Structure 1
Amino acid sequence: MRNIKLHESDQHQFILLNESEPGEEDGIRSNQYLVIHEGQGVLLDPGGFGVMPRVLAEMLRYVQPADIKGVFLSHQDPDIVGGLSTWLELLDAPVYVSSIWMRFLPHYGLKDMSHFVGVPDEGMRCEVAEGFGLEVVPAHFLHSEGQINVYDPLAKVLFSGDIGAAMLPQEQDTPFVDDLAGHLPYIEGFHRRYMGSNRAIRCWLETIAHLDIEMIAPQHGPVYRGAAVGQFLAWLGDLQCGIDLLQSGGRFAR
């Protein structure tokens, strides 16, 4: 799969970077996104250590390291943060992450935390280029205690982190979801176990209700577009998950 431009205009692009070949990094395949506005770029979840060289190579098709004006980390997992110490040897840009993970990140070998900006629980707006800003949206306990999403108002794309993530077979390389029904087998088990609770989901749905969303871009799996956006949000609103299903003895209701 080649890089996919989810949005493109004269001034603005939202790009899904194709960093991985099968077997390049053990574990679940992940998505990295590049937002460009008038030649200035932002990276969303730059990825683990094993994929960093490929992500960099793909990024260089569009911008240079000096053009990157921000990095956003949806949460603290290694498939997001693992390559960051190497990235910071190349970039001079703020790194946005939930404030509750600021003390955790030095364990990834990040000795200089001066680049990091702690996002408050209620989210924030980040001006990343002159006349253009991204909205950082709280998505707590979905699945991380300090999960954040990033909304691009020009592209009308919501980068959703692990919300909407799919566990696809290795040989399947579908870039988009256009209808939810056939996609449910790849998302239901993950969301039932990893999302914190239906209450957390409903808080998130209320938080994003004012956004004009044409695509939902998760950190794993294909991008939701068209009818699949509303279908996914409706399905998620009724989902029992996480502590809703927890029983004594460590069992989960099915």
Structure 2
Amino acid sequence: MGFAPHLPIRLDPREIAPDTFLLRSAQPALGAPLSVSLNSLVIRGEEPVVVDTSTVANRDAWLEDLTSLVDPADVRWIFISHDDEDHTGNLAQVLELCPAATVVMSWALTERSACSVAVPPERLRWVDPGGRLDVGDRTLLAIRPPVYDSPTTRALYDPTTGVLWASDTFATPMPAEPVDDVAEIPPPMWAEGFAMFHHHALAPWLSMVDHDAYAAEVRALRALDAEVVVAAHTPAITGPSVATAFDHLAALPRTVPPPHPDQAALEAALAGAP
């Protein structure tokens, strides 16, 4: 007997700041009572922005949620944070659905994703880390976060609302029953899951970084004074949890993560499967 495919758990979009919405789902973990956020973002400003396009597995629900928040004809920008398939899974569909939209990438991201989604060159805007994007009523800042699993990764900061989209940074598992905010995760579980995800699933090079150089990158990101931190694989980080999240991030190079599940864990999960 094997595991039945786990489709993402659909969660309602959540407004995390004025006219700024998380499009949310969650993926049940294999053989563990955990789930993992699968988020993207919509900024419904003067020139609406879609930030990442979720997964193929979540396509129908994600497109329904997107079009419930914004008229596709009004979308002017599609910001892709990096080239992993859980961030680009519905890009081709959004390109067709939003004919006035320009895709915000970088040269490297364009090259790396060309074999899966070929964006017409006339619909591209290249923005590198440190670059700015004028979207009418606000100017967004592209940033390379301190932790990433693709060299093309750029976070996105909206100074109008204080919302930081951190791409994969701040990733953490949550309980099997998804939660809205990291404040709903028991603190020891958050700290342990944060370390495990970053060291094992996102940035195994963390143990090799220069501590001072890494600390400077975390300080630069913290200096934005984001009021809300959101990312693809974490519940929203708000209020006092923002400072705690940055403390966890700063500590990563010195943190010894828990072991990741191995073959024995997989076999045990398979043995217990219905």
Q: TM-score scaled by structure 2?
A: 0.75
C-alpha distance in 2 between matches for 1:29 and 1:226: 19
Q: For residue 113 of structure 1, what is the aligned residue in structure 2?
A: 121
CA-to-aligned-CA distance 1:6-65 (integer Å, 9 cap, x gap): 012xxxx11112356879xxx964101111114x41111111223233222112222111
Root-mean-square deviation over aligned CA pairs: 2.7
**Structure with the larger helix share:** 2
Q: For residue 24 of structure 2, what is the aligned residue in structure 1?
A: 18
Q: For residue 226 of structure 2, what is the aligned residue in structure 1?
A: 213
Secondary structure class of the residue paired with 1:161: coil
C-alpha distance in 2 between matches for 1:110 and 1:176: 36
- Of the candidates 143, 164, 185, which is equivalent to residue 137 of structure 1? 143
Amino acid at match of 2:112: F
- Of the candidates 29, 40, 54, which is equivalent to residue 32 of structure 1? 40
Larger deviation, residues 179-188 vs 61-70: 179-188
Q: For residue 150 of structure 1, what is the aligned residue in structure 2?
A: 156
Secondary structure class of the residue paired with 1:102: helix
Cα deviation for residue 216 of structure 1 reads: 0.8
Cα deviation for residue 210 of structure 1 reads: 3.2
- The reply on whether 1:177 has 2:182 as its aligned counterpart is yes
C-alpha distance in 2 between matches for 1:137 and 1:236: 16
- Of the candidates 2, 12, 23, which is equivalent to residue 2 of structure 1? 12
CA-to-aligned-CA distance 1:86-108 (integer Å, 9 cap, x gap): 21111221212233221111111
- Of the candidates 213, 221, 224, which is equivalent to residue 237 of structure 2? 224
C-alpha distance in 2 between matches for 1:230 and 1:54: 33
In structure 2, do the counterparts of structure 1 residues 202 and 21 end up closer, same or farther at CA, with 3 Å as the change threshold?
Answer: closer
- Unpaired segments of 5 or more residues in structure 1? 246-254
Give the length in aligned residue pairs.
233
C-alpha distance in 1 between matches for 2:216 and 2:116: 31
The higher-RCO structure (CA 8 Å, 6+ apart) is 2
Pairs within 5 Å for 1:64-213 = 64-91=71-98, 92-110=100-118, 112-120=120-128, 122-129=129-136, 131-139=137-145, 142-169=148-175, 171-178=176-183, 180-193=187-200, 194-195=202-203, 196-197=205-206, 198-199=209-210, 201-213=214-226
Cα deviation for residue 201 of structure 1 reads: 4.1
Q: TM-score scaled by structure 1?
A: 0.81
Secondary structure class of the residue paired with 1:16: strand
C-alpha distance in 2 between matches for 1:164 and 1:175: 15
C-alpha distance in 2 between matches for 1:168 and 1:207: 27
In structure 2, do the counterparts of structure 1 residues 185 and 206 end up closer, same or farther at CA, with 3 Å as the change threshold?
Answer: closer
C-alpha distance in 1 between matches for 2:57 and 2:180: 22
C-alpha distance in 2 between matches for 1:14 and 1:103: 30
Equivalent pair of 1:100/1:118 in contact (CA under 8 Å)? no
Equivalent pair of 1:143/1:163 in contact (CA under 8 Å)? no
- The reply on whether 1:239 has 2:245 as its aligned counterpart is no
**Among the aligned pairs, what percent are the same residue?**
22
Q: For residue 269 of structure 2, what is the aligned residue in structure 1?
A: none
Equivalent pair of 1:140/1:148 in contact (CA under 8 Å)? no
C-alpha distance in 1 between matches for 2:37 and 2:223: 31
Equivalent pair of 1:74/1:147 in contact (CA under 8 Å)? yes
Larger deviation, residues 153-162 vs 188-197: 188-197
In structure 2, do the counterparts of structure 1 residues 116 and 49 end up closer, same or farther at CA, with 3 Å as the change threshold?
Answer: farther
Q: For residue 32 of structure 2, what is the aligned residue in structure 1?
A: none
